[in-house]
Amino acid sequence: MKKCFLTMILTLMLAVTGSPARAAFPEQPINLIVPFSAGGSTDLDARAFATIAGKYIGQPMMVANRPGGSGIIGSQYVVSSKPDGYTILIGRPGAQGVATACFPETTPFTLDSYTFLGMVDASPCVLMVHPDAPYKTLQEFIAYIKANQGKLKYSSSGVSSIHNFATQYMLNLSGMKHDALIHVPYKGGGEALTAIMGKQVDMMICAYNEASSYIKSGTLKALVVMTKDPFPFAPEIPTAVQAGMPELQLGTWFALLGPKDMPQEVRDIYWNTIQKVVVDPDYLRMIGEIGCVPTLMDAETAKEYVIAQNAIFREVGQAIGIVK
Q: Does 27 bind another protein (CB under 8 A)?
A: no
Name the minimum Å distance from CB 153 to another protein. Answer: 6
- The answer to whether 97 and 313 are in contact (CB under 8 A) is yes
Helix axis angle, 41-57 to 281-289, nearest 10°:
180
Q: Of the candidates 18, 20, 175, 218, which one interacts with another protein according to CB under 8 A? A: 218
* Sequence-distant (≥ 6) Cβ neighbours of residue 153 within 8 angstroms: 181, 182, 183, 184, 200, 201, 202, 203
Provide the pairing of β-strand 203-207 with 61-65.
Answer: unpaired
Quick one: 289 or 315, whose CB is closer to another protein?
289
Binding piece for another protein, criterion CB under 8 A, among 81-89, 135-143, 250-258, 285-293: 285-293
Q: Does 191 bind another protein (CB under 8 A)?
A: yes
Nearer to another protein among residue 181 and residue 269 (C-beta): 181
Buried b (16+ CB within 10 A) or exposed e, 105-126: eebebebebbbbbbbbbbbbbb
Part of the chain binding another protein (CB under 8 A), chosen from 217-225, 249-257, 258-266, 304-312: 217-225
Using rule CB under 8 A, residue 264 touches another protein: no
CA 193, distance to chain mean position in Å, is 17
Question: How far separated are the first and last CA of the chain, in Å rounded?
Answer: 76
Question: Pattern 106-145, binding to another protein, x per CB under 8 A?
Answer: x-x-------------------------------------
286 in contact with another protein (CB under 8 A): yes
Q: What is the DSSP letter of 180?
A: G
**Neighbouring residues of 8: CB distance < 8 A, sequence distance ≥ 6:** none
Among 7, 19, 37, 110, binds another protein (CB under 8 A): 37
Q: Which of 56, 86, 172, 190 binds another protein (CB under 8 A)?
A: 190
Rounded to the nearest 10 degrees, the angle between the axes of helix 41-57 and helix 208-217 is 110
Tell me which residues touch another protein (CB under 8 A): 37-40, 43-44, 47-48, 50-51, 64-70, 72-73, 76-77, 106, 108, 153, 158-160, 182-187, 190-191, 193-195, 197-198, 200-201, 212-214, 216-219, 282, 286, 289-290, 322
